[in-house]
Amino acid sequence: MSKIFDKTKQFIVLSAAGVATLPFVSCNEKKQEQKPLNILYIMCDDHSYQTISAYDTTYIQTPNIDRIAADGVRFANSFVANSISGPSRACMLTGKHSFTNGFTDNSSSFDGSQQTFPKLLQQQGYETAVIGKWHLTSDPTGFNHWDILIGQGDYYNPTFIRNGEKVQREGYATNVTTDLAIEWLDSLRDKSKPFCLLLHHKAPHRTWMPDTCDLSLFADSKFPLPETFYDDYKGRRAAGEQKMSISKDMDIIYDLKMADKDSAIHSRADLEEWGRRIYRTMSPEQKAVWDAHYDKVIADFKAAGLQGKELDAWKFQQYMRDYLRVITSVDRNVGVVLDYLQENGLMDNTLIVYTSDQGFYMGEHGWFDKRFMYEESFRTPLLMRLPGGVKGDVTQLVQNIDYAPTILEAAGVSVPADIQGESLLPLLKGEEWTPKREGLYYHYYEFPDEHAVRPHYGVRTERYKLIHFYGDDYSEWELFDLASDKHELNNIYGTAGTEQLTDSLKAMLRRLQEMYGEQQFIME
């Protein structure tokens, strides 16, 4: 933990209600008031750490998200337990691995009768809300207020379900979600209670549709192709079999918006049909602005007649432009919420979290999407700003099952013994932290839909990663030394000299599976 600045003048104490409070020093520093700790948890869908400037400045500046990092902790090694939306959200809510919380893939339905951290906070007197993407199929439980998108939700004029009632709302999803959050913070909640708000943007999920005001951004940018864009997947069978390649699977019409008016461009039949329908929720005014931008791009694309690697490179550039435009809107909207907290005196008693439901491929290995235990999708951005906490980088390996115990402990609510994650609060306060787990356990289950990534589980330590891809008549092990092979191109499983290392990682994997109760997945 490198501490840039340590504000240890403030201490967390417990109020009579059992809720954590921070001593508050008024402007003239004479009067001491006790303020309970609020929670603002912002989570985007598929927001890669590569596109947050607090992590990486290659592609974009995100000054507002960076405000959270600048005034708090940036987790430099933050990971998920299962790199896909619903499962990831269930891990985050319960503090438990997928197998334990029962939501293993996106076709699952969340058992809302189980323990979650919002429910525990609510029982201790918190006012709780979830606004935006939910994606857990069953209705939210443990929230005083919920206003959620249906499934993935639409980018334009999306329909929300507010406490059970469907309401279609005009506008762009990221702006609308922010407005609903501010409305709840400002006028719907019971202000006599501390709050816990889960603000879940659907952006920047596929198909990366920008707000009309951001369409012209990045038009002239040329983004560098990732080093591994033309990966040949040698020695990594499952990586070679996926269907999430920019070259082969990213659709010109559906993903890259080349839905020309004279229907001269064609792509995969089902995706072409969907691609021509992604505008169905737009108003004529929104569509007119959209067309004024894309019609020209479509005309240029047709005229260029690109093939092969030139077409691949064009697809990458177009993907990046749309994705980064969507991020620009996310960042602007994060700024709106931070400004609201600032203007309403809530900065000094609110824990602010920024994260994503998983990482995302920005062309690394030639891919979009997530799912694999490889670094870009196993990692996820994580920034936490605790009033009175430290600022700087945390380098220890942390995981999204740790969020629930961290938030509970910060709120002064006791952490139930069955939670599998470990509280990161000591790290936010600049204290020593030694996790009970020896390494990170990961398990991805969804197959074959939608991107043909084989189910796999594995363990990651600071230096090594061992993965087992499995299925009927399918068993492939991969071992990487991240110190010498950060892009995970060289599978050293089964090579001479790795026997002892492999045995010790397999033994660690077994111990982790035993600790988390998933022994039936131990395979040879």
- Looking at 21, 78, 82, 85, which residue binds Ca ion (CB under 5 A)? 85
Our CB check for ligand SGN shows the closer of 249 and 375 to be 249
Q: Minimal distance in Å, beta carbon 452 to Ca ion?
A: 17
For Ca ion, which stretch binds (CB under 5 A), given 249-257, 325-333, 355-363, 496-504?
A: 355-363
Shortest distance, CB of residue 152 to ligand SGN, whole angstroms?
A: 6
124 vs 380, beta carbon nearer ligand SGN: 380
Per rule CB under 5 A, is residue 46 in the interface with Ca ion?
yes
**Helix, strand or coil for residue 480?**
strand
Helix or strand holding residue 69 (H, E): helix 63-70
376 binds, options ligand SGN, Ca ion, none, Cβ within 5 to 8 A by partner type: none
Q: List the single partner that 207 binds among Ca ion, ligand SGN, none, CB under 5 to 8 Å by kind.
A: ligand SGN
Which of 20, 36, 43, 45: binder of Ca ion (CB under 5 A)? 45
Binding site for ligand SGN (CB under 6 A): 45-46, 84-85, 106, 135, 152, 205-207, 369, 450-451
Nearer to Ca ion, 378 or 464 (CB): 378
Using only C-alpha atoms, the chain has a radius of gyration, in whole angstroms, of: 23
Name the residue among 70, 58, 64 with its Cα closest to residue 42.
Answer: 64
Q: How many whole angstroms separate alpha carbon 407 and alpha carbon 88?
A: 17
Give residue number: closest CB to ligand SGN: 85
- DSSP conformation letters of 317-345: HHHHHHHHHHHHHHHHHHHHHHHHHHHTT
Shortest distance, CB of residue 61 to ligand SGN, whole angstroms? 25
On the CB side of 72, CA atoms within 13 Å amount to 25
Q: Provide, rounded to whole angstroms, the least separation between the CB of residue 17 and ligand SGN.
A: 37
| Nearer Cβ to ligand SGN (391/451) | 451
227 vs 270 by CB, closer to ligand SGN: 270
Nearer to ligand SGN, 46 or 231 (CB): 46
Looking at beta carbons only, is 273 or 418 nearer to ligand SGN? Answer: 273
| Residue 349 Cβ vs Ca ion, minimum distance, rounded to whole Å | 30
Q: How many residues belong to the site for Ca ion (CB under 5 A)?
A: 4
Rounded Cα gap, residues 72 and 70, in angstroms: 6
* Rounded-to-integer distance, Cα 510 and Cα 521, Å: 9
Options 38-46, 274-282, 378-386, 413-421: segment touching Ca ion (CB under 5 A): 38-46
Which one, of 356, 368, 367, 378, lies nearest residue 478 by Cα? 378
CA–CA separation, 278 and 275 (whole Å): 5
The nearest distance, CB 158 to Ca ion, in angstroms, is 16
Stretch that binds Ca ion, among 36-44, 50-58, 350-358, 398-406 (CB under 5 A): 350-358
DSSP state of 400: G
Neighbour-count burial of 360, counting CB atoms closer than 10 A to its CB (0-12 exposed, 13-18 middle, 19+ buried): buried
With residues binned 3-state (H G I as helix, E B as strand, rest as coil), the percentages for the chain, rounded to 5, are 30, 20, 50
DSSP notation for 7-55: -TT---EE-TTS-EEEEEE-TTS--EEEEEPEEEEEEESS--GGGSTTT
Tell me whether residue 73 or residue 84 sits nearer to ligand SGN (CB atom). Answer: 84
3-state secondary structure 115-179: CCHHHHHHHCCCEEEEEECCCCCCCCCCCCEEEEECCCCCCECCEEEECCEEEECCCEHHHHHHH
Q: Between 275 and 388, whose beta carbon lies closer to ligand SGN? A: 275
Is residue 340 within 8 A of residue 72, CB to CB? The reply is no
Q: Give yes or no for a contact between 15 and 33, defined as CB atoms under 8 angstroms apart.
A: no
Which among ligand SGN, Ca ion, none contacts residue 394 (Cβ within 5 to 8 A by kind)?
Answer: none
**Least Cβ distance, residue 254 to ligand SGN (angstroms):** 7
Minimum distance from residue 85 beta carbon to Ca ion (Å)? 4
Least spacing, CB of residue 23 vs Ca ion, in Å? 39
Of 158, 133, 137, nearest in space to 146 by CA: 133
Q: Which does 115 bind (CB under 5 to 8 A by kind): Ca ion, ligand SGN, none?
A: none
- Cβ 369 to Ca ion, closest distance in Å? 9
Q: In the complex, what is the shortest distance from the CB of residue 449 to ligand SGN, in angstroms, rounded to a whole number?
A: 8
Question: Judged by CB, which is closer to ligand SGN: 78, or 380?
Answer: 380
Nearest CA among 416, 435, 423, 437 for reference residue 12: 423
For residue 30, the Cα-to-chain-centroid distance in whole angstroms is: 42
Residue 357 sits in the site that holds Ca ion (CB under 5 A): yes
The residues, any chain, with a CB within 8 Å of residue 114's CB and separated by 6 or more, are: 94, 101, 102
Between 45 and 127, CB nearer to ligand SGN: 45
What are the residues binding Ca ion (CB under 5 A)?
45-46, 85, 357
